[in-house]
């Protein structure tokens, strides 16, 4: 597997958390600067291709925390794009409806959606966001919630003393290092949170290292084997 080296010589940033999303958004999709993000994104694309082929999600669909939406590649212009970052929303060129909303702090729909996708949803994997997800779904609607695997989170944190539990570290081209929210939970805690908002776990799935043609990031390749899961996927249905 091919990997890129870690960036070096970073300093901690004092940029407020809210503004940090705009700063990260400017370079988030540069796979040279952020190979770990690129690998998780590639893994997410593998799963989305699978679910759209097998389940063919239809109806009203939302992509929350969408960034440069992967779901749009499968759902097209009818998809509703939701993100708190204006710069992230602006990465999507097309006729999709766009809503600038922090899904933790505010509702984004009222029994409106048949499907809600959260691709790499660890920044807003919070009980308040899950309440808003449940509120936005129609009865029997489904949420597909994708996060970096708990196995990876545990192994990676053990491999370094430079990380912070509950945060993702972004080393920027400016030399700053930002820590932004990233909640990755074990299965029992994650499913308990989902159940607490009146949703039923329907499926627990994974994407594995071996599903990817290459791994760019040493943060992944140095801690996971080919048969280890790189993503955890929770599919839950509104009761």
* pLDDT tens digits in sequence order for the chain, 239 residues long: 333 333 333 333 333 444 456 778 778 899 999 999 999 999 999 999 999 999 999 999 999 999 999 999 999 888 999 999 888 999 999 899 999 999 999 999 999 999 999 999 999 999 999 999 999 999 999 999 999 999 999 999 888 777 888 888 888 888 888 888 899 999 999 999 999 999 999 999 999 999 999 999 999 999 999 999 999 999 999 99
pLDDT computed for residue 103 by the predictor: 97
Cα distances (Å, whole numbers) of residue 183 to 149, 205, 231: 11, 18, 13
Domain assignment present for 18:
yes
Residue 150 domain-assigned?
yes
Q: What is the pLDDT of residue 19?
A: 47
What is residue 16's predicted lDDT score, i.e. its pLDDT?
43
Domain assignment present for 4: no
- The tally of domains found in the chain comes to 1
Closest CA to 110 of 65, 146, 141, 88: 141
Non-local (6+) Cβ contacts of 83 within 8 A are: 64, 65, 66, 67, 89, 98, 100, 101
The whole model's pTM is what? 0.90
| 3 found inside a domain | no
Instruction: Report yes or no: 64 and 108 within 8 Å, Cβ to Cβ.
Output: yes
Question: Is residue 189 domain-resident?
Answer: yes
226 within domain boundaries: yes
**Residue 139: CATH number of its domain:** 3.40.50.150
Q: Judge whether 197 lies within some domain.
A: yes
């Amino acid at each position: 597997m091919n990997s890129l080296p870690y960036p070096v010589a970073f300093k901690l940033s004092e940029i407020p958390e809210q503004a940090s999303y705009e700063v990260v958004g400017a370079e988030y999709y540069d796979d040279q600067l952020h190979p770990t993000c690129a690998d998780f994104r590639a893994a997410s694309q593998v799963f989305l291709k699978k679910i759209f082929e097998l389940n063919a999600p239809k109806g009203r669909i939302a992509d929350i925390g969408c960034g440069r939406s992967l779901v749009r590649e499968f759902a097209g212009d009818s998809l509703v794009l939701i993100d708190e970052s204006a710069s992230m929303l602006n990465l999507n060129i097309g006729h999709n409806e766009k809503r600038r909303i922090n899904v933790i702090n505010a509702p984004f729909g009222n029994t409106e959606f048949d499907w809600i996708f959260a691709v790499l949803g660890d920044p807003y994997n919070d009980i308040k966001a899950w309440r808003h997800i449940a509120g936005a779904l129609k009865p029997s609607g489904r949420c597909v919630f994708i996060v970096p695997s708990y196995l990876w989170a545990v192994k990676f944190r053990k491999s370094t003393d430079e990380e912070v539990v509950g945060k993702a570290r972004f080393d920027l081209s400016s030399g700053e290092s930002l820590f932004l929210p990233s909640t990755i939970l074990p299965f029992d805690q994650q499913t308990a949170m989902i159940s607490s908002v009146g949703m039923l776990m329907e499926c627990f799935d994974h994407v594995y290292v071996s599903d990817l043609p290459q791994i760019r990031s040493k943060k992944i390749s140095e801690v996971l084997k080919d048969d280890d899961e790189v993503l955890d996927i929770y599919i839950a249905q509104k009761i």
